[in-house]
Copies of this chain bind each other. A is one copy, B any other.
Amino acid sequence: MIFNKAAILGVGLLGASFSLAAKKHGLCRHVTGFGRNRENLELALGRGIIDAYAQDPASACGEADIILLASPAGSFVELVKRASSGFKRGAIVTDVGSVKGALVYEIENLMPAGVRFIGGHPIAGSDRSGIDFSSADLFSDALCIMTPTERSEPAALEVITEMWRSFGSRVMTMGPAEHDRIYAAVSHLPHLIAYAMVNTVSDIDRAYFSFCGQGFKDMTRIAASSPDIWTDISLMNSKNLLEMIAIFRDNLGRIEQCLKQSDPGLLKQELLKASSQRETLGQD
């Protein structure tokens, strides 16, 4: 039991799973939820995911020792502004946002005296969202990135690291900027590409969707992800994304040239580079 009370601001897939994991691993005695959708909070309460909910974020945080920001990352700053008057001295605030960068510093600057913030990103989201898919084991064996800054308190980082480890996560620590560069490449760009792929088929002929096989479904699964969340993430990480879209365009352009020139040797070389790399990631 590291904490007495927890507050979860945003009771969706990640917030609800966090609460369930906290209960399963004895992290705290009591969890209060806050969210925009009262019906969802009632449901979470009824299912025992949370123990109580509050009408506003400040009162949800009232006695909390740990406060989790688990709404879409684009809402964090406004949420913290509304909630911070309720933060207890000594509390630790953390988050599950997929984008860090400037956001971490902005949130840090909003902390009242005696309240610590540690940025975090559990790699456990998916195209599914909402409490229906929540699970106490969502973070088990998942990577969780901590993104402390120069101002982060080492003791608070240690507590949050231990918390994620107790959920079974593999914790890594890196700077917010490095995090955003990595996740632009392996998550944010792939999302944008998958959205563009689906829109491409829509533009060609919507009737073609009925002919797709498992490959198309796998390849575009993340295109079902929440447009709200991914609009936020993309804009907050746009500098990295724009740089990487250019690199992607070069790669697609090389393949295109091979098609234009009917060059099997060069084309095979491009595909082989990708397939040999992809094979190292396994088939799951």
Q: In the complex, A206 Cα to B223 Cα: how many Å?
A: 24
- With a cutoff of 8 Å between Cβ atoms, the chain B residues found around residue A273 in the complex are 198-199, 202
**A264 smallest CB distance to B (angstroms):** 5
Interface residues of A in 234-264 (CB under 8 A from B): 234-235, 238, 241-242, 244-245, 247-252, 255-256, 258-260, 262, 264
Interface residues of A in 42-60 (CB under 8 A from B): none
**A72 smallest CB distance to B (angstroms):** 12
The range of chain A's interface size is: 35 or more
- With a cutoff of 8 Å between Cβ atoms, the chain B residues found around residue A259 in the complex are 234-235, 238, 241-242, 245
The closest CB in chain B to the CB of A143 belongs to B211
Interface residues of A in 129-146 (CB under 8 A from B): 142-143, 145
- With a cutoff of 8 Å between Cβ atoms, the chain B residues found around residue A217 in the complex are 281-282, 284
CB-CB contacts of A21-39 with B at 8 A, as 1s and 0s?
Answer: 0000000000000000000
Cβ of A111 within 8 Å of any chain B Cβ, yes or no, is no
The closest CB in chain B to the CB of A284 belongs to B217
Q: In the complex, A191 Cα to B216 Cα: how many Å?
A: 8
Cβ of A109 within 8 Å of any chain B Cβ, yes or no, is no
**A107 smallest CB distance to B (angstroms):** 20
A residues whose Cβ falls under 8 Å from a Cβ of B: 123-128, 142-143, 145, 182-183, 185-187, 189-206, 208-209, 211-228, 230-232, 234-235, 238, 241-242, 244-245, 247-252, 255-256, 258-260, 262, 264, 267-268, 270-275, 277-284
Cross-chain pairs A/B with CB under 8 angstroms, 27 sampled: A125-B215, A143-B211, A182-B211, A185-B200, A186-B212, A187-B212, A189-B200, A190-B215, A193-B219, A194-B274, A195-B255, A196-B248, A196-B270, A196-B274, A198-B273, A199-B270, A200-B244, A203-B251, A204-B247, A209-B280, A218-B218, A218-B221, A218-B222, A224-B278, A224-B279, A227-B268, A231-B268
Beyond contacts A218-B221, A238-B262: 16 other A-B pairs, Cβ-Cβ < 8 A, are A124-B213, A128-B283, A183-B211, A185-B200, A193-B252, A195-B275, A197-B248, A202-B273, A204-B247, A220-B278, A223-B278, A231-B264, A234-B258, A235-B262, A242-B259, A249-B252
